[in-house]
């Protein structure tokens, strides 16, 4: 399982990378693996206002539809339009295929995210549960 | 052999009919209809002989699979045997020849059935009255949510907008709540696979409209805290909705009304043995307790001095939920089933459904991982998670391999809280021999996964169509003949 050391992770299996004051986010390798082949990504509108924890995007795979939660509040500054045509990019390169980037209103909101070691530990616990 | 489409055997000018010479004067169609109503292009219909047509569809029908052909353990769908006497009853000319626009006095037989089945379903579920109008489970859910809304509006509580749905729920539950204008909030299951009371407690506020539950839930587990859940939801001012998908587990043993539910839908096509699969035909009656009766759809069917009447005089009614009165033929078949099973029959039906599921579970858990390891009700959920880690074989591969053995696979990848889920519901109508046959096949497939995994990854190989490209089907579906377009 690929868990890069330079990213932050949410319990809902999103990753976050801060770059030029924007928080880029996507889903983790674990998430894409359990979703299976992704066939559609519904990305949010540019400039939309969002709140941390809100349902902001949806990912549809051959198995199910899953919701993506915003890791921080702010406005949508960028969306990955490539996913419209090629949603499989998320399966192929989960950490490069970001879904959207947020201009954060409060960057301290990212503080409760996990680092890669904590996320790895979290995955282990989740796996043991069932 | 792969069959072509009927369009692909079409030959220009070939027909399967022969009209006699026209014995009335011909009138040009332009004289009858305005030009805008006339089509310009010829319809693109296949041109075949009667024999071509019969062979084409007979061949296709022989490739169909149904419960009349073999084992069909499709979890959550209750694919029980549909007794043929149901068809015979629904075929009586008194039922077959009626029209929904006939006057009341000429359709007393149908009204009698509708009135009586409502009474019997109420008795079975512990509810007070209901409507047979919804055409399916999800339609019933939609109606149920409309009833919730009407109730809160009457109470002056329009701020109640939040519907709770467990993470193990059928996808139709959140969809129905959402399309009815409610906000859907997911609540977590606990480690036992039932609703977490802690997660529930977080939402007991003035925005709460209610909760949608199945009991037993989609893991086949009985929500043992249901009385406590009902108490807390009612205490907070909310209502409880019972999704009847899993009623086959509890008939004659426990009743949603006694558990504290306010609105119930049933799936006559599942629990009451009418044919389904392939999208219909269904019937999803909704039953309610005393406080929701004023909001039921019109017309109600009432009995006065031995005859039955439509009653439209319901001030607070949500109105019609279907054009006429529901899927009458399905309702009649279910009524026949109810009558010949009787109270004791229905009770033993549920008992045997539960016994069959537990027997199969006990045989399969020797090789397949069972994440929620309790006695189950009518169904249980295995996980291929460990098989995937060890042999690289997924639930989908196992499902596809079952096709090679001539068995319908269980439901896969549902409920969402189990990874690589295989959801098995054998139903009460299967004998020990057919349960053993399925268990033997599943254990053999486990050995294949271990020793020759390629056999599973390339399955099915013995079916008319081999593995379908699901990604392509989801992304670029071709749903009709495109010919030479």
Query: Shortest Cα distance from B473 to chain A (angstroms)?
Result: 9
Angle at A83 between CA A82 and CA A85, to 5 degrees: 75
Tell me the mean pLDDT in the region B153-182.
95
Q: How many domains does chain B have?
A: 1
Is B485's pLDDT higher than 80?
Answer: no
Contact B371 A130 (CB under 8 A): yes
ipTM more than 0.90?
A: no
Nearest to B474 among A34, A39, A130 (CB): A39
* B479 belongs to a structural domain: no
pLDDT band at B58 (very low <50, low <70, confident <90, very high): very high
Tell me if B471 is assigned to some domain: no
Which residues are B243's β-sheet partners? B265
Angle between helices B108-125 and B328-364 (to 10 degrees): 30
Average pLDDT, chain B: 95
- A96/chain B closest Cα distance in angstroms: 21
Residue to substitute from A33, A86, A124, A130, interface B, most B β-carbons within 10 A: A130
Beta-carbon separation of B413 and A40 below 8 A: no
Confidence of residue B250 (pLDDT cuts 50, 70, 90): very high
Least CA distance to A128: which residue of chain B? B371
The answer, yes or no, to whether residue B466 has pLDDT greater than 70, is: yes
> Who's near B267: CB < 8 A, 6+ residues apart?
B78, B136, B137, B140, B244, B245, B247, B282, B283, B284
**Can you give the pLDDT at residue B146?**
97
Considering only the beta carbons, identify the residue of B191, B416, B474 that sits closest to A129: B191
Cβ contacts from A onto B, under 8 A: 28
Q: What is the DSSP letter of A43?
A: P
Rounded to the nearest angstrom, the minimum Cα separation between B419 and chain A is 7
φ and ψ at residue B367, rounded to 5 degrees: -120, -30
Rounded to whole angstroms, how far apart are CA atoms B124 and B255?
Answer: 7
What average pLDDT does the segment B58-70 reach?
A: 92
Query: pLDDT tier at B482 (50, 70, 90 boundaries)?
Result: confident
The partner residue sitting opposite A37, judged by closest CB among B412, B418, B471, is: B471
Q: Which of B430, B259, B309, B337 is nearest to B82 (CA)?
A: B337
CA distance B134 to B141: 9
Bridge partners (DSSP) of residue A58 are: A42, A67
Number of Cβ within a 10 Å radius of residue B280: 13
Say if residue B2's pLDDT is above 70. Answer: no
With CB atoms and an 8 Å threshold, state whether A130 touches B471. Answer: no
Q: In the predicted model, is pLDDT for residue B278 greater than 70?
A: yes
Residues of B with CB under 8 A from a CB of A: 171, 191, 371-372, 383, 412-414, 416-419, 470-471, 474-475
The reported pLDDT for the residue numbered B277 is 80
B171, pLDDT greater than 60: yes
- Which residue does chain B place closest to A54, by CA atoms? B185
* Residue B253: domain span: 84-340
Tokens of B65: 């699979």
Quick one: residue B98, left, alpha or beta (phi over 0 = left, psi -120 to 50 = alpha)? Answer: beta
Residue B250 lies in a domain: yes
> Quick check: helix, strand or coil at residue A47?
coil
How far, in Å, are A93, B270, B361, B485 from residue B375 at the CA level? 42, 22, 9, 56
Residue B196 has pLDDT above 70, yes or no: yes
Instruction: Enumerate residues 6+ apart whose C-beta is below 8 A from B390.
Output: B450
Residues B400 and B408: beta-carbon distance below 8 Å? no
Higher pLDDT, B332 or A129: B332
User: How many Å lie between the alpha carbon of A74 and the closest alpha carbon of chain B?
Assistant: 22
Determine the average pLDDT of the residues in B6-10: 92
Q: Which of B176, B245, B254, B255 is nearest to B209 (CA)?
A: B176
**Residues with pLDDT less than 50, chain A:** none
Among partner residues A62, A129, A130, which is closest to B474 by beta-carbon distance?
A62
Of A37, A62, A130, the CB nearest to B418: A130
Asked if residue B428 is part of any domain, the answer here is no
What is the per-residue burial (b if ≥16 Cβ within 10 Å, else e) of B324-347? ebbbbbbbbbbbbbbeebeeeebe
Judge: B371–A39 Cβ closer than 8 Å, yes or no.
Answer: no
End-to-end CA distance of chain A: 18
In a domain, B11, yes or no: no
| Threshold 0.95, pTM exceeds | no
CA distance B347 to chain A (A): 33
How much is the pLDDT for B212? 98
pLDDT at B10 over 60: yes
What's the pLDDT at A65? 86
Map tokens 């209502």 to a residue: B239
- Residues B361 and B417: beta-carbon distance below 8 Å: no
Is B430 inside any structural domain? no
Enumerate the residues of chain B whose CB falls inside 8 A of the CB of residue A126: none
| Residues from chain A contacting residue B171 (CB–CB below 8 Å) | 65
What is residue A51's three-state secondary structure? coil
Cβ–Cβ < 8 Å for A51, A22:
no
Contacts of B183 in chain A (CB under 8 A): none
- A26 has which bridge partners? A15
Give φ, ψ of B110 to 5 degrees: -65, -40
CATH of A12-107, one of 2.40.50.100, 3.40.640.10, 3.40.50.150, 3.40.50.970: 2.40.50.100
pLDDT single digits (tens) B82-136? 999 999 999 999 999 999 999 999 999 999 999 999 999 999 999 999 999 999 9
| Buried b or exposed e, range A27-66, using 16+ CB within 10 angstroms | bbbbbbebbbbbbebbbbeeeeebebeeebbebbbbbeeb
Q: Which residues contact A49 (CB under 8 A, 6 or more apart)?
A: A74, A75
3-state secondary structure chain B: CCCCCHHHHCCCCCCCCCCCCCCCCCCCHHHCCCHHHCCCCCCCCCCCCHHHHHHHHHHHHHCCCCCCCCCCCECCCCCCCCCHHHHHHHCCHHHHCCCCCCCHHHHHHHHHHHHHHHHHHHHHHCCCEEECCCCCHHHHHHHHHHHHHHHHHHCCCCCCCEEEEECCCCCHHHHHHHHCCCEEEEECECCCCCECHHHHHCCCCCCEEEEEECCCCCCCCCCCCHHHHHHHHHHCCCEEEEEHHHHHHCCCCCCHHHHCCCEEECCHHHHCCCCCCCCCCCCCCEEECHHHHHHCCCCEEEEECCEEEEECCCCCCCCCCCCCCCCHHHHHHHHHHHHHHHHHHHHHHHHHHHHHHHHHHHHHCCCCECCCCCCCCCCEEEECHHHHHHHCCCHHHHHHHHHHCCCCCCEECCCCCCCCEEEECCCCCCCHHHHHHHHHHHHHHHHHHHHCHHHHHCCCCCCCCCCCCHHHHHHCCCCCCCCCC
Q: How far is the alpha carbon of A93 from chain B, nearest alpha carbon, in Å?
A: 17
| CATH code for the domain in which residue B179 is found | 3.40.640.10
Determine the Cα–Cα distance for residues B53 and A106; give it in Å rounded to an integer: 68
Q: Which residues pair with B179 in a beta bridge?
A: none
Instruction: Delimit the domains of chain A by residue range.
Output: 12-107
**A37 vs B171, B412, B470: nearest CB:** B470
Closest CB to B419 among A34, A40, A88: A34
Which residues, including other chains, have CB under 8 Å from residue B42's CB and lie 6 or more apart?
none
């Amino acid at each position: 399982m690929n868990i890069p050391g330079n990213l932050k992770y949410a319990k809902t299996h999103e990753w976050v990378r801060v770059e030029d004051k924007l928080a880029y986010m996507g889903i983790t390798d674990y998430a894409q693996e359990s979703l299976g082949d992704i066939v559609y990504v519904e990305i949010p509108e540019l400039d939309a206002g969002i709140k941390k924890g809100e349902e902001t995007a949806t990912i549809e795979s051959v198995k199910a539809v899953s919701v993506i939660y915003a890791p921080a509040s702010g406005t949508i500054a960028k969306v990955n339009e490539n996913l419209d045509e090629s949603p499989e990019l998320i399966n192929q390169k989960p950490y490069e295929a970001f879904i959207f980037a947020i201009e954060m209103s409060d960057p301290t909101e990212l503080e409760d995210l996990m680092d890669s070691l904590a996320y790895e530990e979290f995955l282990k616990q989740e796996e043991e549960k069932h | 052999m792969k069959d072509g489409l009927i369009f692909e055997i079409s030959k220009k000018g070939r027909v399967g009919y022969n009209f006699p010479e026209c014995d009335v004067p011909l009138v040009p169609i332009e004289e009858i209809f305005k030009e805008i109503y006339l089509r310009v292009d010829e319809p693109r219909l296949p041109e075949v002989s009667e024999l071509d047509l019969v062979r084409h569809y007979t061949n296709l029908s022989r490739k169909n699979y149904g419960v009349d052909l073999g084992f069909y353990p499709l979890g959550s769908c209750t694919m029980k045997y549909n007794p043929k006497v149901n068809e015979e009853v629904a075929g009586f000319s008194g039922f077959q020849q009626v029209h929904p626009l006939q006057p009341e006095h000429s359709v007393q037989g149908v009204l009698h059935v509708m009135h009586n089945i409502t009474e019997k379903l109420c008795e079975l579920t512990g509810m007070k009255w209901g409507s047979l109008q919804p055409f399916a489970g999800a339609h019933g859910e939609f109606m149920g949510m409309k009833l919730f809304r009407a109730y809160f509006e009457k109470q002056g509580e329009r701020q109640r907008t939040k519907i709770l749905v467990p993470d193990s729920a059928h996808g139709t539950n959140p969809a129905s709540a959402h399309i009815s204008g409610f906000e859907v909030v997911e609540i977590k299951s606990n480690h036992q696979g039932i609703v977490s009371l802690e997660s529930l407690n977080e939402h007991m506020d003035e925005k709460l409209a209610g909760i949608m539950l199945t009991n037993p839930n989609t893991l086949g587990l009985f929500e043992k805290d249901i009385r406590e859940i009902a108490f807390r939801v009612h205490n907070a001012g909310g209502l409880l909705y019972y999704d009847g998908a899993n009623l086959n587990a509890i008939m004659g043993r426990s009743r949603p009304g006694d558990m504290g539910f306010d609105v119930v839908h049933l799936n006559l096509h599942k629990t009451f043995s009418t044919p389904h699969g392939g999208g219909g035909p269904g019937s999803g009656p909704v039953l309610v307790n005393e406080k929701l009766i004023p909001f039921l759809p019109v017309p109600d069917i009432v009995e006065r001095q031995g005859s039955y009447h439509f009653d439209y005089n319901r001030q607070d009614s949500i109105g019609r939920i279907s054009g006429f009165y529901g899927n009458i033929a399905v309702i009649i078949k279910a009524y026949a089933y109810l009558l010949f099973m009787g109270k004791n029959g229905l009770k033993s039906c549920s008992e045997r459904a539960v016994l069959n599921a537990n027997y199969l579970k006990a045989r399969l858990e020797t090789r397949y991982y069972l994440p929620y390891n309790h006695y189950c009700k009518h169904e249980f959920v295995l996980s291929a998670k460990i098989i995937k880690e060890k042999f690289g074989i997924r639930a989908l591969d196992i499902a596809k391999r079952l096709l090679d053995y001539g068995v319908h696979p269980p439901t896969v990848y549902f409920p969402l809280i189990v990874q690589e889920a295989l959801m098995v519901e054998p139903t009460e109508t299967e004998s020990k021999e057919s349960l053993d046959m399925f268990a033997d096949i599943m254990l053999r497939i486990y050995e294949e996964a271990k020793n020759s995994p390629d056999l599973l990854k390339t399955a099915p190989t013995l079916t008319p169509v081999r593995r379908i490209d699901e990604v392509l089907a989801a992304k670029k579906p071709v749903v009709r003949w495109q010919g030479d377009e």
